[in-house]
Structure 1
Amino acid sequence: MHTPSELTKQRLTQARRLLAIAQTGLHYTEGAFDRERYQELLGIAQAQLAELADIDAAEVAQLFAPEQGYANPKVDVRCAVFNDAGQVLLVREAADGRWSLPGGWADIGTSPAENALREVREESGYTVTIDRLLAIWDMPKHEHPPSLFHTWKLVFLGNIVASGDISGVETDAVGFFSIDALPPLSLGRILPEQIRKLAELRLGGGMEFD
């Protein structure tokens, strides 16, 4: 597993913070001079993020172009579903051929729990009910590969009520896996130690804030 160094994580944090200051400043400033300086700061932050994430600076600029207003973390909503044998439900991401918990970015107009229900249904074919919230994780504090966005991850515990077919286009396979025999994971989305922690929280009745 690729683990970012402490220096890389520190530089990512600084670059994201610079970008947030620039974005917020561009939203609130009314002065032409200040706007020019915030625009310059935005370009510096985007270049730094591109270097750290190893992608083209123009692509970074395009990704952040729709971002306006006060800068906030993004919210990633996932659902942990287990069968009677304690195996976890995973879906294979079409984008990288690796596995993850069903989930994705939170959508405007629905609650986090509603997002989780929809993602499970579309990505795995299973209809579930939400039992409770298992974890709220600040992703930069975990050993994910370098990411452009500062993201909070919410993971709900789901219970299966019906099965069906995959209806979305983002996943192409589904299966249940033993916690001790997980397939190659999409590490930008979920880590093995996070899945193990979710299994513990499910049985122990607790919840993790990190």
Structure 2
Amino acid sequence: MSPFNDVTAEVIQIANELRSLGTVGRYYAENPYQVERNEKVMRLAARLLGLVETRDLAELERFFFDDLVTVTPLAVVDTAVFDAEGRLLLMQRTDDHLWAIPGGGCEVNELPAAGGAREVLEETGYTVEVTDLIGIFDSRFSGTRT
């Protein structure tokens, strides 16, 4: 049994997702304004976590700003969608204009199946139910790039 009630667990999860967004956004920021906005997201995440934590706000902010672990290798999903006739759904990519199956990076705390369904919806407008896992591949060893 979790020592947290449902609201506390939800607040912790939301704060961690905001912290991750701010950390990654700050890491990839292209100008000082983006850095400032992402640091504000991180401070807000610390304030939110402070509502359910015993540590003081200054300690939480230090912890968030010193966190280098959040920027990690990206978990990416690709979703093979077949219609009743066995045809594979393809979409034309906007970056290189090649044809591909829908896919993209998972969000923090997002399960791969949910990420796969979300990417299909975002990239094609179709709502799908993920039913099977085909495999897990490491792009360093499969000759692909993301």
Normalised by the size of structure 2, how large is the TM-score?
0.50
Which has the larger share of helix? 2
Indicate the structure whose relative CO is greater, using CA pairs within 8 Å and at least 6 residues apart: 1
Which has the larger share of strand? 1
Normalised by the size of structure 1, how large is the TM-score?
0.36
